[in-house]
Structure 1
Protein backbone atom coordinates (compact mmCIF):
# COMPACT_ATOMS: atom_id res chain seq x y z
CA UNK A 1 0.00 0.00 0.00
CA UNK A 2 1.23 3.48 -0.82
CA UNK A 3 1.62 6.14 1.77
CA UNK A 4 2.00 9.87 1.38
CA UNK A 5 4.71 10.64 3.89
CA UNK A 6 4.94 14.40 3.82
CA UNK A 7 2.12 15.86 5.86
CA UNK A 8 2.98 19.52 5.69
CA UNK A 9 0.19 21.57 4.06
CA UNK A 10 2.89 23.17 1.92
CA UNK A 11 3.25 19.95 -0.04
CA UNK A 12 -0.04 20.53 -1.86
CA UNK A 13 0.08 22.12 -5.26
CA UNK A 14 -2.04 25.15 -4.39
CA UNK A 15 -0.66 27.13 -7.34
CA UNK A 16 -1.62 24.38 -9.83
CA UNK A 17 1.93 23.96 -11.05
CA UNK A 18 2.67 21.36 -13.75
CA UNK A 19 3.53 18.07 -12.06
CA UNK A 20 6.57 15.85 -12.59
CA UNK A 21 6.54 12.29 -11.24
CA UNK A 22 10.03 10.91 -10.55
CA UNK A 23 9.88 7.14 -9.99
CA UNK A 24 12.92 5.52 -8.42
CA UNK A 25 13.78 8.78 -6.65
CA UNK A 26 17.25 9.00 -5.13
CA UNK A 27 20.04 11.43 -4.24
CA UNK A 28 21.70 11.26 -7.66
CA UNK A 29 19.69 11.43 -10.90
CA UNK A 30 16.37 11.79 -9.09
CA UNK A 31 17.45 14.78 -7.02
CA UNK A 32 19.18 16.52 -9.92
CA UNK A 33 16.09 16.07 -12.09
CA UNK A 34 13.82 17.35 -9.32
CA UNK A 35 15.94 20.48 -8.97
CA UNK A 36 16.13 20.98 -12.74
CA UNK A 37 12.36 20.89 -13.19
CA UNK A 38 11.53 22.39 -9.80
CA UNK A 39 13.63 25.48 -10.52
CA UNK A 40 11.49 26.01 -13.61
CA UNK A 41 8.21 25.97 -11.71
CA UNK A 42 7.20 22.30 -11.67
CA UNK A 43 5.82 20.45 -8.65
CA UNK A 44 7.70 17.24 -7.89
CA UNK A 45 6.23 13.88 -6.83
CA UNK A 46 8.98 11.64 -5.43
CA UNK A 47 8.27 7.89 -5.69
CA UNK A 48 10.50 5.33 -4.02
CA UNK A 49 10.67 2.49 -1.52
CA UNK A 50 12.45 4.02 1.49
CA UNK A 51 10.29 6.28 3.63
CA UNK A 52 12.99 8.11 5.60
CA UNK A 53 15.09 8.91 2.54
CA UNK A 54 12.08 10.21 0.65
CA UNK A 55 10.99 12.36 3.56
CA UNK A 56 14.46 13.89 3.89
CA UNK A 57 14.56 14.55 0.15
CA UNK A 58 11.22 16.33 0.16
CA UNK A 59 12.31 18.55 3.02
CA UNK A 60 15.48 19.49 1.14
CA UNK A 61 13.49 20.35 -1.97
CA UNK A 62 11.08 22.47 0.03
CA UNK A 63 14.03 24.29 1.59
CA UNK A 64 14.90 25.29 -1.97
CA UNK A 65 11.33 26.56 -2.44
CA UNK A 66 10.35 23.64 -4.67
CA UNK A 67 6.84 22.22 -4.25
CA UNK A 68 7.28 18.51 -3.52
CA UNK A 69 5.53 15.50 -2.00
CA UNK A 70 6.68 11.93 -1.39
CA UNK A 71 4.91 8.63 -1.97
CA UNK A 72 6.24 5.27 -0.79
CA UNK A 73 6.01 3.07 -3.87
CA UNK A 74 7.25 -0.30 -5.07
CA UNK A 75 8.08 0.57 -8.67
CA UNK A 76 8.06 -3.11 -9.64
CA UNK A 77 4.50 -3.62 -8.38
CA UNK A 78 1.95 -2.37 -10.90
CA UNK A 79 -0.77 -2.01 -8.28
CA UNK A 80 1.52 0.06 -6.06
CA UNK A 81 2.50 2.25 -9.02
CA UNK A 82 -1.10 2.88 -10.07
CA UNK A 83 -2.10 3.75 -6.50
CA UNK A 84 0.81 6.19 -6.31
CA UNK A 85 -0.21 7.90 -9.56
CA UNK A 86 -3.76 8.27 -8.23
CA UNK A 87 -2.42 9.85 -5.05
CA UNK A 88 -0.23 12.24 -7.02
CA UNK A 89 -3.23 13.32 -9.07
CA UNK A 90 -5.30 13.79 -5.92
CA UNK A 91 -2.68 15.78 -4.03
CA UNK A 92 -0.79 17.66 -6.75
CA UNK A 93 -3.01 17.68 -9.86
CA UNK A 94 -2.63 16.62 -13.46
CA UNK A 95 0.63 14.94 -14.39
CA UNK A 96 2.70 16.56 -17.15
CA UNK A 97 5.89 14.52 -16.97
CA UNK A 98 6.84 11.01 -15.84
CA UNK A 99 10.53 10.35 -15.21
CA UNK A 100 11.16 6.61 -14.90
CA UNK A 101 14.44 6.26 -13.05
CA UNK A 102 13.72 2.85 -11.49
CA UNK A 103 15.81 -0.19 -12.44
CA UNK A 104 16.35 -3.77 -11.32
CA UNK A 105 19.78 -5.06 -10.32
CA UNK A 106 18.79 -8.70 -9.72
CA UNK A 107 20.05 -11.51 -11.95
CA UNK A 108 23.79 -10.85 -11.81
CA UNK A 109 24.30 -14.26 -13.44
CA UNK A 110 21.29 -15.62 -15.31
CA UNK A 111 22.79 -19.10 -15.63
CA UNK A 112 23.89 -20.13 -12.15
CA UNK A 113 21.94 -19.98 -8.89
CA UNK A 114 18.85 -21.64 -7.52
CA UNK A 115 16.38 -18.80 -8.12
CA UNK A 116 13.39 -19.60 -10.30
CA UNK A 117 14.05 -18.05 -13.76
CA UNK A 118 10.46 -16.83 -14.00
CA UNK A 119 10.82 -15.03 -10.66
CA UNK A 120 14.06 -13.34 -11.73
CA UNK A 121 12.70 -12.26 -15.11
CA UNK A 122 9.48 -11.01 -13.51
CA UNK A 123 11.52 -8.82 -11.16
CA UNK A 124 13.70 -7.51 -13.97
CA UNK A 125 10.83 -6.70 -16.33
CA UNK A 126 8.57 -5.64 -13.46
CA UNK A 127 10.72 -2.67 -12.52
CA UNK A 128 12.05 -1.86 -15.96
CA UNK A 129 8.85 -2.19 -18.00
CA UNK A 130 5.70 -3.23 -16.13
CA UNK A 131 5.91 -0.46 -13.55
CA UNK A 132 6.60 2.08 -16.28
CA UNK A 133 3.59 0.88 -18.26
CA UNK A 134 1.38 1.03 -15.16
CA UNK A 135 2.34 4.66 -14.56
CA UNK A 136 1.58 5.58 -18.18
CA UNK A 137 -1.76 3.77 -18.23
CA UNK A 138 -2.88 5.51 -15.05
CA UNK A 139 -1.66 8.95 -16.16
CA UNK A 140 -2.58 8.56 -19.84
CA UNK A 141 -5.47 11.04 -19.91
CA UNK A 142 -3.36 13.62 -18.04
CA UNK A 143 -0.43 13.16 -20.39
CA UNK A 144 -2.66 13.60 -23.43
CA UNK A 145 -4.37 16.68 -22.02
CA UNK A 146 -1.07 18.28 -20.97
CA UNK A 147 0.82 17.23 -24.13
CA UNK A 148 3.19 15.65 -21.67
CA UNK A 149 6.49 13.83 -21.69
CA UNK A 150 7.75 10.43 -20.55
CA UNK A 151 11.46 10.39 -19.73
CA UNK A 152 13.41 7.19 -19.10
CA UNK A 153 16.83 6.61 -17.58
CA UNK A 154 18.37 4.13 -20.01
CA UNK A 155 21.72 2.38 -20.00
CA UNK A 156 24.51 1.68 -22.44
CA UNK A 157 24.16 -2.00 -21.58
CA UNK A 158 21.01 -1.98 -23.74
CA UNK A 159 23.16 -2.19 -26.86
CA UNK A 160 23.29 -5.48 -28.78
CA UNK A 161 26.99 -5.26 -29.60
CA UNK A 162 28.91 -8.34 -28.44
CA UNK A 163 31.44 -6.15 -26.62
CA UNK A 164 28.59 -4.68 -24.59
CA UNK A 165 27.31 -8.15 -23.80
CA UNK A 166 30.78 -9.17 -22.63
CA UNK A 167 30.99 -6.15 -20.34
CA UNK A 168 27.66 -7.12 -18.79
CA UNK A 169 28.81 -10.70 -18.20
CA UNK A 170 32.25 -9.71 -16.88
CA UNK A 171 30.72 -7.32 -14.34
CA UNK A 172 27.78 -9.55 -13.29
CA UNK A 173 25.27 -7.16 -14.84
CA UNK A 174 23.32 -9.64 -16.95
CA UNK A 175 20.00 -8.81 -15.31
CA UNK A 176 20.58 -5.06 -15.58
CA UNK A 177 21.51 -5.40 -19.26
CA UNK A 178 18.32 -7.37 -19.92
CA UNK A 179 16.30 -4.77 -18.00
CA UNK A 180 17.72 -1.86 -20.00
CA UNK A 181 17.48 -3.57 -23.38
CA UNK A 182 13.83 -4.50 -22.92
CA UNK A 183 13.11 -1.03 -21.57
CA UNK A 184 14.77 0.59 -24.59
CA UNK A 185 12.58 -1.38 -27.01
CA UNK A 186 9.51 -0.46 -24.98
CA UNK A 187 10.49 3.21 -25.11
CA UNK A 188 10.65 3.07 -28.91
CA UNK A 189 7.25 1.43 -29.13
CA UNK A 190 5.76 3.97 -26.73
CA UNK A 191 7.26 6.83 -28.74
CA UNK A 192 5.56 5.58 -31.91
CA UNK A 193 2.25 4.89 -30.13
CA UNK A 194 1.98 8.13 -28.18
CA UNK A 195 3.34 10.61 -30.75
CA UNK A 196 -0.11 11.09 -32.36
CA UNK A 197 -1.44 11.99 -28.89
CA UNK A 198 1.15 14.74 -28.58
CA UNK A 199 3.02 12.85 -25.86
CA UNK A 200 6.81 12.79 -26.15
CA UNK A 201 8.81 9.72 -25.07
CA UNK A 202 12.57 10.12 -24.66
CA UNK A 203 15.42 8.15 -23.15
CA UNK A 204 18.76 9.31 -21.77
CA UNK A 205 21.11 6.37 -22.34
CA UNK A 206 23.96 6.45 -19.82
CA UNK A 207 27.10 4.40 -20.36
CA UNK A 208 29.37 3.94 -17.36
CA UNK A 209 29.01 5.26 -13.85
CA UNK A 210 27.01 8.26 -12.62
CA UNK A 211 28.62 10.40 -9.93
CA UNK A 212 28.39 14.01 -8.78
CA UNK A 213 31.24 15.90 -10.40
CA UNK A 214 31.56 13.53 -13.35
CA UNK A 215 35.01 12.51 -14.59
CA UNK A 216 36.58 10.11 -17.09
CA UNK A 217 33.79 7.88 -18.42
CA UNK A 218 31.65 9.12 -15.52
CA UNK A 219 28.43 11.10 -16.00
CA UNK A 220 27.38 13.89 -13.65
CA UNK A 221 23.71 13.53 -12.61
CA UNK A 222 23.20 17.21 -13.41
CA UNK A 223 24.04 16.41 -17.04
CA UNK A 224 21.35 13.71 -17.03
CA UNK A 225 18.84 16.19 -15.62
CA UNK A 226 19.78 18.74 -18.27
CA UNK A 227 19.32 16.12 -21.00
CA UNK A 228 15.90 15.25 -19.60
CA UNK A 229 14.91 18.91 -19.67
CA UNK A 230 16.13 19.37 -23.24
CA UNK A 231 14.13 16.35 -24.45
CA UNK A 232 11.05 17.67 -22.68
CA UNK A 233 11.52 21.24 -23.87
CA UNK A 234 12.69 20.65 -27.46
CA UNK A 235 10.51 17.56 -28.06
CA UNK A 236 12.52 16.24 -30.98
CA UNK A 237 15.23 13.95 -29.54
CA UNK A 238 14.09 10.40 -28.87
CA UNK A 239 17.44 9.36 -27.40
CA UNK A 240 20.36 11.23 -25.85
CA UNK A 241 23.61 9.36 -25.15
CA UNK A 242 25.91 10.25 -22.24
CA UNK A 243 29.09 8.65 -20.92
CA UNK A 244 31.18 5.80 -22.27
CA UNK A 245 31.82 2.10 -21.72
CA UNK A 246 35.41 2.41 -22.96
CA UNK A 247 37.06 2.02 -19.57
CA UNK A 248 34.95 -1.01 -18.70
CA UNK A 249 35.71 -2.59 -22.05
CA UNK A 250 39.45 -2.19 -21.51
CA UNK A 251 39.50 -3.62 -17.99
CA UNK A 252 40.88 -7.18 -17.69
CA UNK A 253 38.37 -9.94 -16.96
Structure 2
Protein backbone atom coordinates (compact mmCIF):
# COMPACT_ATOMS: atom_id res chain seq x y z
CA UNK A 1 0.00 0.00 0.00
CA UNK A 2 1.02 3.60 -0.63
CA UNK A 3 0.70 6.24 2.09
CA UNK A 4 -0.73 9.74 1.93
CA UNK A 5 -0.26 12.41 4.61
CA UNK A 6 -2.70 15.33 4.78
CA UNK A 7 -1.52 18.20 6.97
CA UNK A 8 -4.44 20.39 7.94
CA UNK A 9 -7.04 17.64 7.61
CA UNK A 10 -10.64 18.65 8.13
CA UNK A 11 -14.19 17.54 7.31
CA UNK A 12 -14.28 19.40 3.99
CA UNK A 13 -11.50 19.21 1.41
CA UNK A 14 -9.23 17.12 3.64
CA UNK A 15 -11.80 14.37 4.05
CA UNK A 16 -12.66 14.35 0.34
CA UNK A 17 -8.98 14.08 -0.62
CA UNK A 18 -8.54 11.25 1.88
CA UNK A 19 -11.51 9.38 0.40
CA UNK A 20 -10.32 9.81 -3.19
CA UNK A 21 -6.78 8.63 -2.46
CA UNK A 22 -8.10 5.88 -0.18
CA UNK A 23 -10.07 4.48 -3.11
CA UNK A 24 -6.76 4.42 -5.00
CA UNK A 25 -5.36 2.03 -2.37
CA UNK A 26 -3.63 4.63 -0.24
CA UNK A 27 -3.41 4.42 3.52
CA UNK A 28 -4.13 7.86 4.94
CA UNK A 29 -2.42 9.74 7.77
CA UNK A 30 -4.24 12.83 9.01
CA UNK A 31 -2.60 15.71 10.87
CA UNK A 32 -4.57 18.44 12.64
CA UNK A 33 -4.56 20.08 16.06
CA UNK A 34 -7.65 18.44 17.56
CA UNK A 35 -7.57 14.69 18.24
CA UNK A 36 -11.37 14.45 18.59
CA UNK A 37 -11.80 15.90 15.11
CA UNK A 38 -9.19 13.49 13.77
CA UNK A 39 -11.01 10.56 15.37
CA UNK A 40 -14.23 11.65 13.63
CA UNK A 41 -12.46 11.76 10.26
CA UNK A 42 -10.91 8.36 10.87
CA UNK A 43 -14.34 6.94 11.74
CA UNK A 44 -15.76 8.28 8.45
CA UNK A 45 -12.93 6.72 6.48
CA UNK A 46 -13.18 3.38 8.26
CA UNK A 47 -16.80 3.09 7.10
CA UNK A 48 -15.40 3.18 3.56
CA UNK A 49 -12.81 0.52 4.43
CA UNK A 50 -10.00 3.06 4.12
CA UNK A 51 -7.16 2.55 6.57
CA UNK A 52 -6.32 5.80 8.33
CA UNK A 53 -4.94 7.23 11.55
CA UNK A 54 -4.98 10.71 13.06
CA UNK A 55 -1.94 12.40 14.57
CA UNK A 56 -2.53 15.55 16.60
CA UNK A 57 0.02 18.31 16.00
CA UNK A 58 0.17 22.07 15.68
CA UNK A 59 1.97 22.97 12.43
CA UNK A 60 3.54 25.98 14.15
CA UNK A 61 5.35 23.67 16.57
CA UNK A 62 8.18 21.84 14.79
CA UNK A 63 8.65 19.40 17.67
CA UNK A 64 5.00 18.34 17.51
CA UNK A 65 5.22 18.07 13.72
CA UNK A 66 8.38 15.98 13.93
CA UNK A 67 6.75 13.65 16.47
CA UNK A 68 3.68 13.23 14.25
CA UNK A 69 5.73 12.36 11.16
CA UNK A 70 7.85 9.92 13.17
CA UNK A 71 4.67 8.18 14.33
CA UNK A 72 3.34 8.12 10.77
CA UNK A 73 6.46 6.44 9.43
CA UNK A 74 6.27 3.89 12.24
CA UNK A 75 2.61 3.17 11.41
CA UNK A 76 2.66 3.29 7.60
CA UNK A 77 6.27 3.07 6.49
CA UNK A 78 7.37 5.36 3.68
CA UNK A 79 5.31 8.44 2.81
CA UNK A 80 4.44 8.57 -0.89
CA UNK A 81 2.34 11.74 -1.06
CA UNK A 82 2.20 14.83 1.16
CA UNK A 83 -0.60 17.39 0.87
CA UNK A 84 -0.27 20.59 2.89
CA UNK A 85 -3.77 21.96 3.40
CA UNK A 86 -3.38 24.08 6.54
CA UNK A 87 -4.18 27.78 6.49
CA UNK A 88 -5.44 30.66 8.59
CA UNK A 89 -8.35 32.10 6.62
CA UNK A 90 -9.15 35.32 8.44
CA UNK A 91 -10.96 38.37 7.03
CA UNK A 92 -8.27 40.98 7.68
CA UNK A 93 -7.66 44.05 5.54
CA UNK A 94 -4.21 45.38 4.73
CA UNK A 95 -4.85 48.45 6.88
CA UNK A 96 -5.72 46.29 9.88
CA UNK A 97 -2.85 43.83 9.42
CA UNK A 98 -0.26 44.22 12.16
CA UNK A 99 3.25 42.78 12.13
CA UNK A 100 2.40 40.45 15.02
CA UNK A 101 -0.76 39.20 13.29
CA UNK A 102 1.06 38.65 10.00
CA UNK A 103 3.81 36.71 11.78
CA UNK A 104 1.32 34.47 13.56
CA UNK A 105 -0.60 33.68 10.36
CA UNK A 106 2.56 33.14 8.34
CA UNK A 107 3.59 30.39 10.75
CA UNK A 108 0.64 28.38 9.44
CA UNK A 109 0.28 29.69 5.90
CA UNK A 110 3.89 29.17 4.84
CA UNK A 111 6.32 28.07 7.58
CA UNK A 112 4.27 24.99 8.47
CA UNK A 113 4.27 24.02 4.79
CA UNK A 114 8.04 24.27 4.56
CA UNK A 115 8.48 22.31 7.81
CA UNK A 116 6.13 19.59 6.57
CA UNK A 117 7.89 19.28 3.23
CA UNK A 118 11.25 18.96 4.96
CA UNK A 119 9.88 15.93 6.80
CA UNK A 120 9.52 13.96 3.55
CA UNK A 121 12.00 15.41 1.05
CA UNK A 122 15.13 13.45 2.12
CA UNK A 123 13.41 10.05 1.88
CA UNK A 124 11.69 10.91 -1.41
CA UNK A 125 14.95 12.09 -2.97
CA UNK A 126 16.75 8.98 -1.74
CA UNK A 127 14.29 6.63 -3.44
CA UNK A 128 13.69 9.03 -6.39
CA UNK A 129 9.93 8.95 -6.03
CA UNK A 130 7.15 10.85 -4.29
CA UNK A 131 4.86 13.85 -4.59
CA UNK A 132 4.30 17.01 -2.53
CA UNK A 133 1.28 19.24 -3.04
CA UNK A 134 0.23 22.54 -1.50
CA UNK A 135 -3.25 24.06 -1.38
CA UNK A 136 -3.43 27.72 -2.31
CA UNK A 137 -5.98 30.23 -3.55
CA UNK A 138 -6.40 32.71 -6.37
CA UNK A 139 -7.06 32.78 -10.09
CA UNK A 140 -3.84 34.23 -11.47
CA UNK A 141 -0.12 34.33 -10.77
CA UNK A 142 -0.35 37.59 -8.86
CA UNK A 143 -3.75 37.34 -7.20
CA UNK A 144 -4.16 39.20 -3.93
CA UNK A 145 -7.44 39.50 -2.03
CA UNK A 146 -7.43 42.66 0.14
CA UNK A 147 -10.02 41.31 2.60
CA UNK A 148 -7.73 38.28 3.09
CA UNK A 149 -4.45 40.12 3.32
CA UNK A 150 -2.53 37.78 5.64
CA UNK A 151 -3.67 34.74 3.66
CA UNK A 152 -2.65 36.43 0.40
CA UNK A 153 0.81 37.20 1.79
CA UNK A 154 1.29 33.66 3.06
CA UNK A 155 0.02 31.89 -0.03
CA UNK A 156 2.17 34.09 -2.28
CA UNK A 157 5.20 33.02 -0.30
CA UNK A 158 4.14 29.38 -0.29
CA UNK A 159 3.59 29.54 -4.03
CA UNK A 160 7.14 30.82 -4.56
CA UNK A 161 8.47 28.01 -2.38
CA UNK A 162 6.42 25.40 -4.28
CA UNK A 163 7.73 26.60 -7.65
CA UNK A 164 11.33 26.65 -6.42
CA UNK A 165 10.94 23.19 -4.93
CA UNK A 166 9.34 21.90 -8.13
CA UNK A 167 12.30 23.10 -10.16
CA UNK A 168 14.87 21.68 -7.76
CA UNK A 169 13.27 18.26 -7.17
CA UNK A 170 12.02 17.49 -10.68
CA UNK A 171 15.38 15.97 -11.55
CA UNK A 172 15.21 13.72 -8.50
CA UNK A 173 11.96 11.94 -9.40
CA UNK A 174 9.91 13.97 -6.89
CA UNK A 175 6.93 15.94 -8.16
CA UNK A 176 5.93 19.18 -6.42
CA UNK A 177 2.74 21.03 -7.28
CA UNK A 178 0.29 23.62 -6.02
CA UNK A 179 -3.45 23.79 -6.55
CA UNK A 180 -4.74 27.37 -6.41
CA UNK A 181 -8.47 27.39 -5.70
CA UNK A 182 -10.20 30.57 -6.89
CA UNK A 183 -13.32 30.37 -4.77
CA UNK A 184 -14.98 29.37 -1.54
CA UNK A 185 -15.05 25.60 -0.97
CA UNK A 186 -18.68 24.62 -0.48
CA UNK A 187 -20.81 21.53 -1.08
CA UNK A 188 -23.17 21.67 -4.05
CA UNK A 189 -21.13 24.28 -5.92
CA UNK A 190 -18.42 24.31 -8.56
CA UNK A 191 -16.00 24.37 -5.62
CA UNK A 192 -17.34 21.27 -3.89
CA UNK A 193 -14.68 19.33 -1.94
CA UNK A 194 -15.15 16.19 -4.05
CA UNK A 195 -14.56 18.05 -7.32
CA UNK A 196 -11.42 19.68 -6.00
CA UNK A 197 -10.20 16.36 -4.61
CA UNK A 198 -10.52 14.90 -8.12
CA UNK A 199 -8.16 17.63 -9.29
CA UNK A 200 -5.58 16.50 -6.75
CA UNK A 201 -5.88 12.93 -7.99
CA UNK A 202 -5.33 14.11 -11.57
CA UNK A 203 -2.34 16.22 -10.55
CA UNK A 204 -0.82 13.19 -8.86
CA UNK A 205 -1.41 10.93 -11.84
CA UNK A 206 -0.41 13.41 -14.56
CA UNK A 207 2.48 15.18 -12.81
CA UNK A 208 2.36 17.79 -15.57
CA UNK A 209 3.33 21.08 -13.97
CA UNK A 210 4.14 23.11 -10.89
CA UNK A 211 0.71 24.71 -10.50
CA UNK A 212 -2.92 24.46 -11.49
CA UNK A 213 -5.68 27.01 -11.05
CA UNK A 214 -9.12 25.70 -10.16
CA UNK A 215 -11.41 28.40 -11.56
CA UNK A 216 -15.13 28.69 -12.20
CA UNK A 217 -15.17 30.46 -15.60
CA UNK A 218 -18.69 31.77 -14.98
CA UNK A 219 -17.75 33.59 -11.76
CA UNK A 220 -15.76 36.67 -10.77
CA UNK A 221 -13.66 34.95 -8.13
CA UNK A 222 -12.30 38.15 -6.56
CA UNK A 223 -15.78 39.60 -6.17
CA UNK A 224 -17.14 36.35 -4.73
CA UNK A 225 -14.37 36.15 -2.13
CA UNK A 226 -14.86 39.77 -1.16
CA UNK A 227 -18.60 39.27 -0.73
CA UNK A 228 -18.16 36.10 1.33
CA UNK A 229 -15.58 37.40 3.78
CA UNK A 230 -17.02 40.92 4.09
CA UNK A 231 -20.26 39.57 5.56
How far apart, CA to CA, are the structure 1 residues paired with 2:116 and 2:36? Answer: 23
How far apart, CA to CA, are the structure 2 residues paired with 1:206 and 1:198? Answer: 26
Match of 2:210 in 1: 238
Match of 1:129 in 2: 110
Residues 120 and 107 of structure 1, relative CA distance in 2, 3 Å threshold = farther
CA RMSD of aligned residues (A): 2.2
Deviation at 1:158, TM superposition (A): 7.1
Residues 92 and 86 of structure 1, relative CA distance in 2, 3 Å threshold = same
Match of 1:102 in 2: 86
Match of 2:157 in 1: 182
Q: Deviations over 1:132-173 (max 9, x none)?
A: 22122222233222600001111007742xxx54xx22xx21
177-186 vs 136-145, greater mean Cα deviation: 136-145
SS in structure 2 of the partner of residue 212 of structure 1: coil
Structure 2 length-normalised TM: 0.88
1:227 aligns with 2:202: no
Structure 1: which 5+ runs fail to align? 1-16
How far apart, CA to CA, are the structure 2 residues paired with 1:154 and 1:46? Answer: 19
Deviation at 1:77, TM superposition (A): 2.3
Match of 1:4 in 2: none
Work out which of the residue numbers 177, 194, 199 in structure 1 matches 2:169.
194
Match of 2:77 in 1: 93
How far apart, CA to CA, are the structure 1 residues paired with 2:171 and 2:27? Answer: 26
How far apart, CA to CA, are the structure 2 residues paired with 1:40 and 1:54? Answer: 21
Matches within 5 A, 1:1-253: 17-106=1-90, 108-112=92-96, 117=99, 119-144=100-125, 145=127, 147-156=129-138, 159-160=141-142, 164-165=143-144, 168-169=145-146, 172-215=147-190, 219-244=191-216, 246=220, 248-249=222-223
Residues 110 and 248 of structure 1, relative CA distance in 2, 3 Å threshold = closer
76-85 vs 183-192, greater mean Cα deviation: 76-85
Greater Rg over alpha carbons, structure: 1
Deviation at 1:23, TM superposition (A): 0.5
Structure 1 length-normalised TM: 0.81
How far apart, CA to CA, are the structure 1 residues paired with 2:118 and 2:152? Answer: 25
Residues 66 and 198 of structure 1, relative CA distance in 2, 3 Å threshold = same
Contact 2:110 2:155 in 1 (8 A): no
Contact 1:98 1:149 in 2 (8 A): yes
